[in-house]
Amino acid sequence: MLRWEFHVPWGERPHKATTHAVAWVWVKNNGPTASFAAEVREVTGLPSKWGDYFVAEAAWDGKSSAKVEIPHGGRRKLKLAAITRYPMRGFWFFTSEGRNEVPGWYWTLGDNEQADIRFTIVLTDTDSDATVHSRGRIKIPFEVGNSSFELEEF
């Protein structure tokens, strides 16, 4: 369980939100040095008002760009999503749109609401246009401490 503090503006004043967990994806480059970009597509399980939700520019940890260079044999972290538990139970995907690593749309879960979010991560080697697809799932039960994250390549 990873816990850290993040300041999120609600209304006119910022309030401290306790992030219960962050989902990270390690990306390893087995080919020649190249630039990589990631998208989150085919997202289901979110509020219907979000419509056809996707993240066009996923966030790389500590980077202010939608692309990151990874040397041969190197690894970089994709900062995927977060689950909060205070002051509200909630969820978001991270994005690097606008040249900043920030939370995307925030979903406030009611006290009796659970979530089963499914999505596809598309990782692209922007030098060769080669892609890798992975199917992910984040389950948020009533007790956020029992949340789970699964990812498998297909």
110 burial class (0-12, 13-18, 19+ CB within 10 angstroms)?
exposed
- Alpha-carbon distance of 109 to 56, in angstroms, equals 24
Q: What Rg, from alpha-carbon coordinates, does the chain have?
A: 16
**33 against 3, higher pLDDT:** 33
Per-residue model confidence (pLDDT) at position 17? 53
DSSP 106-152: -EEEPTT--EEEEEEEEEEETTTTEEEEEEEEEEE-SSGGG-EEEEE
C-alpha distances (whole Å) from 61 to each of 12, 123, 138 are 28, 15, 19
Q: Average pLDDT for residues 59-69, to the nearest whole number?
A: 90
Quote helix, strand, coil % in the chain, to nearest 5: 5, 60, 35
**Has residue 10 got a pLDDT over 70?**
no
83, burial (CB in 10 Å: exposed 0-12, middle 13-18, buried 19+): buried
Q: How far apart are the first and last CA of the chain?
A: 27
pTM of the model: 0.83
Q: Give CATH for domain 4-153.
A: 2.60.40
In this prediction, residue 16 has a pLDDT band, given cuts at 50, 70 and 90, of: low
Where in the chain are the domains?
4-153
Q: Report the pLDDT averaged over residues 41-65.
A: 91
